[in-house]
Structure 1
Amino acid sequence: MTPSLNSIVSRLHLKQLRLLIALGDHGSLLQAAKQVALTQPGASKALQEIETTFGTALFNRTNRGLEPNEVGHCVIRYARLIHTDLAHLREEIVGILRGHGGRVAVGVIMGAVPLLTDAISALVERHPEMSVEIVEDTSATLLSQIDAGRLDLAICRTTISQTPQLYESVQLQDETLAVIANIHHPVGRAKKVTLKELAEYRWVVYRANMPMRLLLEREFRDAEIRFPLHLLETTSIFATLTLLQNNPSLVALVSIDVAQFFSRHGMTRSLPLKLASRSEPYELVTRKGAPLSPGARLLMDQLMISRSTTAAG
C-alpha cells in the first residue's frame, strides 16, 4: 500500500532527493554517494529509507549497478522538478531582495508569441537581471500548468476550459489570422487567391478541435469546399516555419502577428486571401486568488502597456 502524502512529506529529506538525482545520473551507488558527500554505507542506508518512505523498491539491483524501475523513473523525475523549483525559489528571492523582480514563468499560445516576446524584450531592457521562462503550448496545457503552479501567467484562452471561473483573465487583443507560404509558393506572387485554389495544396494546421483549426474548417464549410486531406498538424511555430521552408507547396494558417514577423525577415510570404472569420481574442490569464510574484506583476504591467499602445495605434 502506498504511504499517505503526509507520511511522505514528513519522512522525505531534500538530501535524499539529491541522492535520487545522482543515482539517476550515474546508476552507481558509489558515484552517487561521492556526488552528495555521503559514504557508500550512508548512501545505501539513505536509499533504504527512501524506498521505505515510498513503500516500494525504486531500483533493480544488477551487476551493472542500480537501474531505476518504472516507479524509480517517476520518483527521479519529480525529484528533479523539486530541485529545479527550489533553484527558481532561490533565484526569485535574490531578485526580490535586489529589487529587480526576480523570475517569472509565462505560457503562450503560438499566435501570441510575437506579442509576448516584444513585451519581454522591453521588460528585460529595464530589468536586465530578471529571468524569464517561456513555455509555448496549447491553451489547455497552459491552463493545466497554471493550475499546478508551474506558470505564473499565460497568454491563452479560458474559453476552452470547463472551469473558466477558476481564472482571472483580461482580453489583450483580437487575433486576426493570415495564410502564409514559402516565398516561392506557386501562388505567392498572385494579387488575389481564393480558398478553392488553396484547397488543392497541403495545409499545416493546428490539431482538431482547437480554435484556429475550427475556424479554418468553418471557412471551408461556409464556402462549400471540402476540407483538405493529408494535413500536417502542429502547435509549434518552429515546426510550421521549417515545414514551409522545406516544401514550397505547403500553406499554413497563423496569426497576423506571426505572419508579419516571418514576412519582415523574408522567411515566408502572406498570401492575398482575406478570411471572413476572426479567432477569439488573446487573454492574459492568472489563477484566481493566487498571489503574484513581483516578476509576474512587472510582466503583466508591460503586457498591458503593449495592449494600450496597440489599441492607440
Structure 2
Amino acid sequence: MSNELNSSGDNQPGNQLPAAAGELPSVGSIVSRLRFRQVALLTALDEQGSLHKAAEVMHMTQPAATKALHEMEDALGVTLFDRSPRGIEATELGRCVIRYARLIQSDVSNLRDELQNMISGRGGRIAIGTIMGAAPFVTRALSRLREIQPDVSIEIVEDTSARQLLLLDQGRIDLMIGRSSVSSQPNLYNYEMLRGEPMCIVSGVDHPLATAQKVRLQELSDASWILYSSNMPMRIWIEHEFKLEGLKVPGNVIETASPFVTVTLLAQSSMVAVMPLDIAHFFAAKQMLGILPASLKTRIEHYGIVTRKNTTLSSLAKMFIQILRQQN
C-alpha cells in the first residue's frame, strides 16, 4: 500500500499539517475551497479503506483522488488520513471531518428530495423540536397539519430546550416548542408564549408512597431522585420547591432528559422523579408509574414557539405555527 498516498511523508502518522496545532483557516476560506466531490471522496475513503478503491467508486483516477484529498487537507489545515499496512486510516481529526461530510451529503439529499416533492406537488418537509412536556400538544398540532397536507414529510426532535436551540442555530430544525430563556443570548430568538407546563412528582407503581392520600415534600427529602441537568427549568423549579420548604436540595440524583430512561429506572427502584403532568398521565394510565399526591407551591415557566430571528420561515412552518395558535 506504499503508493496509497504520495511518498513525501506528509501523511505519515503524527505528521499533522502545520495549522492543526494552531489557528485553522477561516470559514470563508474553507467554503471557497471545498467542493462537493471532495466531500463525497472523503466518505468513500472511509468506507473503502483504500484510495484505489475509493477512486474507482468515484470514477476518478488514483492521482486525481490523491490530489483531491490533499486539496481538502490543505483547505481545512489538517491531515485527514494516515497510511498503514492495511491501506489508509482516518486520523482523529479526519473522523471528525468525515462525520460532518456525511451530514453534508444527507442534507443535500434531503434538499433534493424536498425540492422534488415541492415541484411534483407532493408537499414539503418540516423539522420541529419539542420539549418533553409539550409533546402531546405538538403531536396534536402535527396530526392536524397532516390532515391539511397529507404528503408533508415531518421530523420531530424531542430534547431539552438548550439542545434544541443548538439545532435551531444550525438550521437542523425549523422551529421549536420550548423556552428561549435557557440561552445565554435569548435576544437572538423570537419567542411566542403558548401555555404552562404543570409538573408533578412520580414514582414506580410499587413505591411505598404510590397509594398514599397525601405526600409531603419532606417525606421525599432523603429519596434518590431522577432529574434534568442542573441548568434546566424543571431542575431549577424542584430545587426552588425544596428551598421554599426549608429543605435540603436533593444531592443523590441521576440526571437524564429521557422519559423512557426515567420510567425504566422508576420501575426498578424506589427512586422518584419530576415529570410534566401530561406525560405522567400517559404513563400512569398504562400503569407504568404512579403520580404522587404532593402539594407543590409554584409553577414552572411557560413554554412557547421559538424561531431564530432574521430567518425566513417556510410556508409549512408558518402553517404549523398557525395551527399551534388555534389549538392553544
Q: TM-score by structure 1 length?
A: 0.90
Q: Structure 1 residues 128 and 29, CA, compared in 2 at 3 Å: closer, same or farther? A: farther
Q: CA deviation at 1:230?
A: 1.3
Larger relative CO (CA 8 A, sep 6+): 1 or 2? 1
Residue type matched to 2:302 in 1?
P
Residue type matched to 2:286 in 1?
H
Aligned pairs for 1:189-208 within 5 A? 189-208=211-230
SS at match of 2:222: coil
Q: CA deviation at 1:294?
A: 2.6
1:131 aligned partner: 153
Q: CA deviation at 1:205?
A: 0.8
Q: TM-score by structure 2 length?
A: 0.86
Does 2:67 match 1:28? no
2:321 aligned partner: 300
Does 2:263 match 1:241? yes
Aligned residues: CA RMSD:
1.9
Q: Deviations over 1:172-196 (max 9, x none)?
A: 1111101111112111111111111
Q: CA deviation at 1:35?
A: 2.9
Contact 1:146–1:287 (CA<8 Å) still a contact in 2? yes
1:83 aligned partner: 105
Q: CA deviation at 1:23?
A: 1.5
Does 2:58 match 1:43? no
Does 2:178 match 1:156? yes
Q: Deviations over 1:101-124 (max 9, x none)?
A: 411122222222222223223323
1:258 aligned partner: 279
Q: Structure 1 residues 232 and 88, CA, compared in 2 at 3 Å: closer, same or farther? A: same
Partner Cα separation in structure 1 for residue 111 and residue 143 of structure 2: 23
Q: Structure 1 residues 121 and 36, CA, compared in 2 at 3 Å: closer, same or farther? A: farther
Q: Structure 1 residues 213 and 4, CA, compared in 2 at 3 Å: closer, same or farther? A: closer
Q: Select between 290-299 and 95-104 the one with higher mean Cα deviation.
A: 95-104
Q: Structure 1 residues 276 and 4, CA, compared in 2 at 3 Å: closer, same or farther? A: closer
Larger Rg: 2
SS at match of 1:280: coil
Does 2:240 match 1:222? no
Partner Cα separation in structure 1 for residue 294 and residue 243 of structure 2: 16
Residue type matched to 2:208 in 1?
P
Q: Structure 1 residues 57 and 236, CA, compared in 2 at 3 Å: closer, same or farther? A: same
2:30 aligned partner: 8
Structure 2 unpaired stretches of 5+: 1-18
2:167 aligned partner: 145
1:277 aligned partner: 298
Residue type matched to 1:275 in 2?
L
From 59, 77, 86, the equivalent of 1:64 is 86
Q: Deviations over 1:133-187 (max 9, x none)?
A: 2222222222222122222101111222232222111111111101111112111
- Which 4+ residue blocks in structure 1 deviate beyond 3 angstroms? 1-7, 39-42, 98-101
Residue type matched to 1:174 in 2?
G
Q: Deviations over 1:210-234 (max 9, x none)?
A: 2111111111111122223311111
Partner Cα separation in structure 1 for residue 83 and residue 275 of structure 2: 51
Q: Structure 1 residues 295 and 92, CA, compared in 2 at 3 Å: closer, same or farther? A: farther
Partner Cα separation in structure 2 for residue 101 and residue 304 of structure 1: 22
Residue type matched to 1:295 in 2?
L
Partner Cα separation in structure 2 for residue 90 and residue 186 of structure 1: 56
Partner Cα separation in structure 1 for residue 301 and residue 271 of structure 2: 25
1:119 aligned partner: 141
Residue type matched to 2:229 in 1?
R
Residue type matched to 2:173 in 1?
L
Q: Structure 1 residues 105 and 64, CA, compared in 2 at 3 Å: closer, same or farther? A: same
SS at match of 2:196: strand
SS at match of 2:105: helix
Partner Cα separation in structure 1 for residue 230 and residue 26 of structure 2: 39
Partner Cα separation in structure 1 for residue 111 and residue 77 of structure 2: 29
From 179, 197, 200, the equivalent of 2:201 is 179
Partner Cα separation in structure 2 for residue 163 and residue 262 of structure 1: 35
Q: CA deviation at 1:96?
A: 2.5
Q: Select between 30-39 and 145-154 the one with higher mean Cα deviation.
A: 30-39
Structure 1 unpaired stretches of 5+: 308-313
SS at match of 1:244: helix
Q: Structure 1 residues 127 and 224, CA, compared in 2 at 3 Å: closer, same or farther? A: same
Q: Deviations over 1:24-67 (max 9, x none)?
A: 22322233223323333332232222223323321111111111
